[in-house]
Structure formats: structure tokens, C-alpha cells
């Protein structure tokens, strides 16, 4: 067939006979399948006319064979936001919902899972993503009970495409219209049904060996379920006992989900589990580690199965190798680890052994190397403030919020920014709520070189010659005055801003460099203090 131009095709679709429409809509789908914008429709109201004729044929009960083509054409057009809010009327939404099987009145054909239903669901996803009016549509919101009813009654015969786009619709509406979260969660018990979907998936697959392949489509659906649950719990205040029990049950299911063996989509699944863990109630994390009945697992610590924690730490290690999008890649898993180690002592102790094991490498700076400790220490001086503070908080909690221990593992230079922010400079360290029992971190290697370890750099340094050796007292005084003058000049020109440590443990700007003289005795960072446990 000779290729037809857009100038010829669109008028034929709008004004031709039904037979011509049926022929040309297929051509439209072939020609426009990859397009996301349609500037050629901006003139002569072509966009409005095309949408109108597509809905006209979609509702024509005389000809039903091309409904899926009409819906597919609308799906393609809905990628373009131009005038989309004006094109989507309440009546149009009702027609799409009817074809998607999400209305009160459903005939036998609509109950069966057809290509028409799937195209309608895809169209709804596009409209939700691109149209503010659709996100706020009362007609669409009124269809949520029918959507949740279908989700509640999923069977093994329900096509993956239906499940996938049902979940995407639910994700988009709860993400973009926050008022629907309580409707789904509280009025429709949506989180209960969604958790049941994950639980059924885990039950079906928990005995799989490494040769069993879990279908990619199944994992994609589970990822969408996890994303919806994140939306439902991100602002929730689940203080009721039954809500906390629900959270604990969910964490147990997430534990099982994390330790399944996958051959595909593993990164996406783990990422969504981690995101969900960041919004679970603090006192509900205990089931993420389980008592070991038979010691057949490699990751056992104090009689508890740490397999799920191993997955999180491996995920963290992988993301720390990323060169771009550091906040998006690293922040969620660090946030999840912070919440986990603050909530459960056994988790903190285990994670500490993995990230900050007993100190043996004292020859290299803490940020040098490929260990988890080194990769995290590199981020302590990152210009990305949000990420730097998160990493610092993780390491500080692993050090039981003890300044001296933090200095030992990270170096004072790397941790100084966090100490300043928390008011922990000088000797202003507050009491912490951690147990006195501590893992031994003073290895033979550390004790051997303890006196030569520079607390600022956090590593061994060879003794350096005294630069003042051989100078007369007059020469020493001259050099000292030269240094004072230089610092004073830099201060007056705004290049540096010298500070002293205030009573609150935070740096306070000084007016003149000589103010530092009286501070020196109490600002010395004693080596004995830095090594105490």
C-alpha cells in the first residue's frame, strides 16, 4: 500500500465512511505507534475532531470489531498533553471505564479479559499520567471499588497484562491524587488485598530452587504492588495494634520476598522492597530477621537468619558503585538501613560487623579502598548534602553515636561536618542510649600502630621532622606572626572564616584571629579520648 501522509490520513479518519475509517485507523496505528507529540493536529481543531470521531465509533453498537483500534488510537494520542484536560469529559471517562470493566454494569464480554479491556487500561494509565483533570476525576475515583473488587478476586487465569495495568492505575491515582489513599486503604481495605497478592506469590515460589525461573511478568506485577503499598503507607500513622500487626506481617512477607532466588528483574524488586521498608512503623521491623531452626543458612548471627540483611547490604554495595543519580540510587537503601539498625539491636550489631568490622587496615585512609566502609566514608565529604548527612547518620549509629569511635573508623576530617551539625565538636558529647557491651574493635594491627595513627586522617602516618627544629626563638616567633597575618588577611578578604567552638559544641565565627589563642588548650583533641571505647 502506498504510504499515506498525515495531511491525507487525518481528514480521511475524521470525514470518511465507517469502512474508510476502519481501514485508515489501522494505518494510523502503524504510522503513529512510536510518536509522543502531534503538532500536525494543532490547526483547524483537528485534535478535537479526531478525538470526537474515535469516541463516536467506540460507542457505536452496530460496529464493535474495531473498538480496540479506537482505544489504541486514543492511547497513542493521550501521550500528548496538548488540550488533554479539555478533551477528557466525564462522559469520555465513563466510556473508557465501561470498556475497562470498571463500572457497575458489565456484560459477559466485558467480564472476559479481552484486548479491548487491556487497551482501555493502558489508555487510563496514559490519561492519569498526563491529565490533572483525570487525576481529580470524580467519575474515575468512583470506579475504585470496582477496581479493588477485581483485584480481590484475581485468579491464576487473570492475564498478567490486566493485573499489571490495574496496579499501574492504582499506583498513579494514589501517587498523583493523595486524597485517594485513605479511600483505597481505609474504606476499601486495599492494602490487605495487595499484601495478600505478595503473600500468595511468595508461597508459590518459596520452595523454588535456582533452576526454577520466576516469570518476568509476575515480578513486574509484584513491583507495582509494592509501589502502591508505598503510596498507601508513606503518610500513614498506624498506631493501632491491628495496623502494627499488619505491618509486622508485611515485613515477614518482605523477608521471604528478599530471600527468594531470581533470575531476572531482581534489582527492580529489591529497590521497591527497600522503598517500602522506609515507610514501615519503627516497632514493626523485627520479622526481617528470623530465628534459625536448622543451621542450613550461611548468614546466621546470634541464632538469627540474616539473609535479608545480606541482600540489603549487597544492594547497597552495588549502588555505591554508581557514578550518576547518587541520591536516587543510594538514599533509599541507606534510609532503610538506618531505620532497621535503630529499631533492632541484633541488626545493628550484624550490620556494624559488615560495614565497620574490627579495624585491621590502619595503613590506608578510611575512604581508600573498595570495602563498604571505604565507599561510605568517601560520601562523608560529598557535595550532595542530603546524601552526605544520611551516610554520616548511618555510620554514627553503627558507632553507637560515640564521637571517639566515629573518629577511629572514619577519621576526624571526614566526620567533622557531621560533628559540627550535631554540636559534637570539642568535648560536648552527649550520653547515648546504647548498651555498654561492645564489640571489640581494637585488633592487634590497631594496637600496634595506635600511637602513630593520625585521628584527622584516620590512618597510620610516619613520624615527620619538626619544621621548627634548628630555629631560634626569634625565628619561631617571626614565622608565627607571619602565619597570623596570613590568616587575618584571608579572613578580612572573606576567603576563610575562622571559628571557635561554642558552648553548644557548634562552630562560632570569630572577629579576629587572635581570639583563637585562648581556645587552643581546650580545643586540643586528645589522643587518649579518641581511642576510648
Q: 3-state secondary structure string, 365-413? A: CCCCCCCHHHHHHHHHHCCCHHHHHHHHHHHHHHCCCCHHHHHHHHCHH
Calculate mean pLDDT across residues 401-412.
Answer: 88
The predicted pLDDT at position 429 comes to: 57
Among residues 368, 363, 390, 393, which one has the least CA distance to residue 378? 368
The predicted pLDDT at position 144 comes to: 97
Least confident of 235-249, 296-310, 360-374, 443-457: 443-457
| Residue of 444 and 433 predicted with greater confidence | 444
Same domain, yes or no: 260 and 294: yes
The predicted pLDDT at position 440 comes to: 53
| Residue 286 CB-density burial (10 A; 0-12 exposed, 13-18 middle, 19+ buried) | middle
Does the pLDDT value for residue 35 go beyond 70?
A: yes
Q: Which residues contact 321 (CB under 8 A, 6 or more apart)?
A: 375
Dihedral, CA of residue 415, residue 420, residue 424 and residue 426, to nearest 10: 90
Q: In what order do the strands lie in the sheet containing 300-301?
A: 290-291, 304-305, 300-301
The predicted pLDDT at position 108 comes to: 43
DSSP 8-state symbol, 223: H
Domain boundaries, position 499: 474-511
The predicted pLDDT at position 529 comes to: 43
CA 42 to chain centroid: 39
The predicted pLDDT at position 1 comes to: 45
Calculate mean pLDDT across residues 387-392.
Answer: 94
H/E element holding 508?
strand 507-509
Categorize the per-residue pLDDT at 201 as very low, low, confident or very high, splitting at 50, 70 and 90: very high
Does the pLDDT value for residue 520 go beyond 80?
A: no
| Residue of 421 and 284 predicted with greater confidence | 284
> What grid cell was written down for 288?
526481617
Q: Which residues contact 196 (CB under 8 A, 6 or more apart)?
A: none
Long-range contacts of 434-440 (CB under 8 A, 24+ apart): 434/400, 434/401, 435/345, 438/400, 438/533, 439/349, 439/352, 439/353, 439/358, 440/358
Note whether residue 261 is domain-resident. Answer: yes
The predicted pLDDT at position 521 comes to: 53
Residue 463: CB atoms within 10 A of its CB come to 7
Mean of all residue pLDDT scores within the chain = 86
Strands 290-291 and 453-454: unpaired
DSSP 8-state symbol, 209: -
Residue with cell 454494569: 105
Categorize the per-residue pLDDT at 264 as very low, low, confident or very high, splitting at 50, 70 and 90: confident
DSSP 8-state symbol, 429: P
pTM of this prediction?
0.86
Categorize the per-residue pLDDT at 51 as very low, low, confident or very high, splitting at 50, 70 and 90: very high
The predicted pLDDT at position 107 comes to: 45
Among residues 103, 47, 56, 57, which one has the least CA distance to residue 78? 47
Same domain, yes or no: 288 and 312: yes
Note whether residue 111 is domain-resident. Answer: no
Same domain, yes or no: 279 and 389: no
Last residue of a domain, one of 336, 362, 394: 336
Is-contact 74 102, C-beta < 8 A? no
Does the pLDDT value for residue 194 go beyond 80?
A: yes
Q: Which residues contact 263 (CB under 8 A, 6 or more apart)?
A: 213, 214
Same domain, yes or no: 193 and 318: yes
Strand partners, 359: 442
pLDDT in tens, 465-499: 777 787 888 888 888 888 888 878 887 887 777 77
Is-contact 424 462, C-beta < 8 A? no
Strand partners, 46: none
Note whether residue 466 is domain-resident. Answer: no
The predicted pLDDT at position 212 comes to: 67
CA 384 to chain centroid: 16
Dihedral, CA of residue 280, residue 257, residue 344 and residue 302, to nearest 10: 170
Among residues 231, 160, 138, which one has the least CA distance to residue 190? 231
Same domain, yes or no: 223 and 310: yes
Does the pLDDT value for residue 302 go beyond 80?
A: yes
Note whether residue 151 is domain-resident. Answer: no
Categorize the per-residue pLDDT at 439 as very low, low, confident or very high, splitting at 50, 70 and 90: low
H/E element holding 453?
strand 453-454
| Max CA separation in the chain (angstroms) | 108
3-state helix, strand, coil in the chain (%, to 5): 60, 5, 35
Note whether residue 345 is domain-resident. Answer: no
The predicted pLDDT at position 109 comes to: 45
The predicted pLDDT at position 441 comes to: 56
Domain total in the chain = 3
Calculate mean pLDDT across residues 434-463.
Answer: 68
The predicted pLDDT at position 305 comes to: 94
Same domain, yes or no: 227 and 270: yes
**Distance, CA of 159 to CA of 441 (rounded, Å):** 55
| Residue of 88 and 464 predicted with greater confidence | 88
**Distance, CA of 357 to CA of 443 (rounded, Å):** 10
Least confident of 99-108, 156-165, 225-234, 391-400: 99-108
Does the pLDDT value for residue 446 go beyond 80?
A: no
**Distance, CA of 129 to CA of 414 (rounded, Å):** 43
The predicted pLDDT at position 533 comes to: 39
Does the pLDDT value for residue 398 go beyond 60?
A: yes
Note whether residue 293 is domain-resident. Answer: yes
Calculate mean pLDDT across residues 319-347.
Answer: 95
Note whether residue 327 is domain-resident. Answer: yes
Same domain, yes or no: 332 and 197: yes
The predicted pLDDT at position 526 comes to: 44
The predicted pLDDT at position 110 comes to: 45
pLDDT in tens, 74-133: 999 999 999 999 999 999 999 999 999 998 754 444 456 789 999 999 999 999 999 999
Does the pLDDT value for residue 383 go beyond 70?
A: yes
**Distance, CA of 280 to CA of 234 (rounded, Å):** 8
Note whether residue 246 is domain-resident. Answer: yes
The predicted pLDDT at position 308 comes to: 96
Calculate mean pLDDT across residues 364-383.
Answer: 92
Last residue of a domain, one of 281, 314, 336: 336
Same domain, yes or no: 451 and 499: no
Total residue count of the chain as it appears in this document: 533
The predicted pLDDT at position 501 comes to: 73
Same domain, yes or no: 315 and 392: no
Does the pLDDT value for residue 154 go beyond 60?
A: yes
Last residue of a domain, one of 316, 336, 356: 336
Same domain, yes or no: 203 and 312: yes
Among residues 20, 153, 165, 10, which one has the least CA distance to residue 96? 165
The predicted pLDDT at position 485 comes to: 86
Is-contact 313 319, C-beta < 8 A? no
Same domain, yes or no: 280 and 332: yes
Same domain, yes or no: 315 and 235: yes
The predicted pLDDT at position 361 comes to: 79
Amino acid at each position: 500500500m502506498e504510504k499515506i501522509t498525515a495531511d491525507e490520513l487525518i481528514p480521511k479518519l475524521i470525514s470518511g465512511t465507517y469502512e474508510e475509517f476502519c481501514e485508515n485507523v489501522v494505518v494510523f496505528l502503524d504510522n503513529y505507534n512510536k510518536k509522543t507529540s502531534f503538532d500536525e493536529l494543532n490547526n483547524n481543531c483537528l485534535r478535537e475532531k479526531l478525538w470526537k470521531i474515535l469516541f463516536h465509533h467506540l460507542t457505536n453498537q452496530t460496529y464493535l470489531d474495531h473498538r480496540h483500534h479506537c482505544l489504541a488510537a486514543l492511547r497513542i494520542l493521550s501521550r500528548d498533553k496538548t488540550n488533554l484536560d479539555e478533551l477528557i469529559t466525564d462522559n469520555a471517562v465513563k466510556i473508557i471505564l465501561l470498556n475497562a470493566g470498571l463500572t457497575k454494569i458489565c456484560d459477559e464480554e466485558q467480564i472476559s479479559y479481552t484486548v479491548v479491556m487491556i487497551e482501555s487500561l493502558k489508555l487510563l494509565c496514559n490519561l492519569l499520567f498526563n491529565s490533572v483533570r483525570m487525576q481529580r476525576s470524580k467519575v474515575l475515583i468512583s470506579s475504585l471499588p470496582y477496581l479493588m473488587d477485581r483485584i480481590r478476586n484475581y485468579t491464576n487465569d487473570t492475564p498478567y497484562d490486566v493485573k499489571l495495568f490495574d496496579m499501574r492505575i492504582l499506583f498513579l491515582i494514589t501517587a498523583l491524587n493523595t486524597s485517594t489513599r485513605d479511600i483505597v486503604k481505609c474504606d476499601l481495605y486495599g492494602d490487605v488485598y495487595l499484601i495478600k497478592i505478595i503473600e500468595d506469590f511468595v508461597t508459590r515460589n518459596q520452595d523454588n530452587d535456582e533452576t526454577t525461573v520466576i516469570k518476568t511478568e509476575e515480578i513486574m506485577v509484584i513491583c507495582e504492588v509494592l509501589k502502591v503499598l508505598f503510596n498507601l503507607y508513606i503518610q500513614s500513622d498506624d498506631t493501632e495494634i491491628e495496623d502494627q500487626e499488619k505491618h509486622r506481617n508485611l515485613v515477614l512477607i518482605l523477608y521471604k520476598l528478599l530471600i527468594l532466588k531470581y533470575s531476572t528483574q531482581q534489582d527492580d524488586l529489591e529497590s521497591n522492597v527497600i522503598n517500602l521498608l522506609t515507610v514501615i512503623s519503627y516497632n514493626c521491623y523485627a520479622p526481617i530477621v528470623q530465628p534459625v531452626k536448622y543451621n542450613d543458612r550461611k548468614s546466621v548471627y546470634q541464632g538469627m537468619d540474616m539473609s535479608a540483611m545480606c541482600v540489603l547490604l549487597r544492594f547497597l554495595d552495588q549502588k555505591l558503585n554508581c557514578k550518576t543519580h547518587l541520591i536516587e540510587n543510594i538514599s533509599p537503601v541507606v534510609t532503610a538501613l538506618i531505620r532497621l539498625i535503630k529499631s533492632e539491636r541484633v541488626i545493628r550489631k550484624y550490620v556494624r560487623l559488615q560495614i565497620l568490622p574490627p579495624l585491621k587496615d590502619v595503613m590506608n585512609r578510611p575512604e581508600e579502598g573498595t570495602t563498604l566502609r571505604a565507599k561510605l566514608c568517601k560520601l562523608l565529604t560529598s557535595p550532595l548534602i542530603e546524601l552526605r548527612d544520611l551516610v554520616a547518620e548511618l555510620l554514627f549509629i553503627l558507632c553507637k553515636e560515640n564521637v571517639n569511635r566515629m573518629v577511629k573508623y572514619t577519621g576526624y576530617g571526614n566526620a567533622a561536618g557531621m560533628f559540627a551539625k550535631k554540636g559534637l565538636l570539642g568535648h560536648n558529647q552527649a550520653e547515648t542510649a546504647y548498651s555498654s557491651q561492645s564489640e571489640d574493635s581494637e585488633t592487634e594491627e590497631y594496637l600496634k600502630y595506635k600511637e602513630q595513627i593520625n585521628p584527622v586522617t584516620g590512618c597510620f602516618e610516619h613520624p615527620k621532622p619538626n619544621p621548627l627544629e634548628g630555629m631560634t626563638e626569634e625565628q619561631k616567633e617571626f614565622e608565627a606572626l607571619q602565619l597570623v597575618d596570613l590568616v587575618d588577611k584571608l579572613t578580612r578578604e572573606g576567603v576563610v572564616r575562622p571559628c571557635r567552638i561554642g558552648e553548644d559544641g557548634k562552630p562560632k565565627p570569630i572577629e579576629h584571629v587572635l581570639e583563637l589563642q585562648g581556645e587552643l588548650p581546650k580545643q586540643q583533641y586528645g589522643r587518649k579520648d579518641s581511642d576510648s571505647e
